[in-house]
Amino acid sequence: MSQLLKIYEKNPDSRVVDQAVAVLQKGGLLIYPTDTVYGLGCDITKTKALEKIARIKQVKLEKANFSFICHDLSNLSEYVRQIDTPTYKILKRALPGPYTFILKGNNNLPKVFKKKKTVGIRVPDNNIINTIAKELGHPIISTSIYDEDDVIEYTTDPELIFEKWRDKVDLVLDGGYGGNIASTIIDLSDGEVEVVREGKGSLDIL
């Protein structure tokens, strides 16, 4: 039975955080607020949950471009190849913030992602999801919640999100209205800086 739980960013209720972590640990699916749009995710180590998200998004898991939400820079560095100084400076300026950085993955990536040479990494400026990722001890897969509406690309009202998604996920966290502009995607995987998608994040950090 899916649940909608209210949670506040300034002081996330530890009981709600624990409930979200328990859902993820059991291989459940979670919808949560970020500093951009609401996201759908699961624990990166739970293959069946990853497959479920891939089915929902109608993509093959091995080809899916899911991002990882990490709680800070040190957590991020566990899953990517050694970061050079110029790249580190950009990450330090930008994170936490509304960016997805594409970096070369390392051998710590879960088995299903081993064939992928790169990984999208997020450290959102949102205390709710960062706290959950920290308590979980693993990054959380992240993919945006889209809206079928022709005008609105992303659903911003968590109650409407719950109505639409309650049959597909285990828990929806209501952290207030979400944004409707996705993250800026920047590819730093080959030593060059390539802006893949300009979104909420300013390019002044480059």
Give the whole-number percent of the chain exceeding pLDDT 70. Answer: 97
Q: Would you state the pLDDT for residue 62? A: 84
> Which pLDDT band holds residue 152 (cuts at 50, 70, 90)?
low
In angstroms, the Cα distances linking 38 to 60, 111, 126, 199 are 22, 26, 11, 14
> Which pLDDT band holds residue 198 (cuts at 50, 70, 90)?
very high
Q: What distance in Å separates the CA atoms of residue 71 and residue 129, rounded to the nearest whole number?
A: 8
Q: Give the residue from 186, 1, 196, 8 showing the smallest Cα distance to 87.
A: 186
pLDDT, mean of residues 169-193: 95
pTM of this structure: 0.94
Q: Would you state the pLDDT for residue 8? A: 97
Residue 175 has pLDDT above 80, yes or no: yes
Domains of the chain: 3-205 (3.90.870.10)
pLDDT, mean of residues 91-108: 96
Helix, strand, coil in percent for the chain, rounding step 5: 30, 20, 45
pLDDT, mean of residues 134-150: 84
- Whole-number mean pLDDT of the chain? 93
Assigned token pair, 127: 């205390």
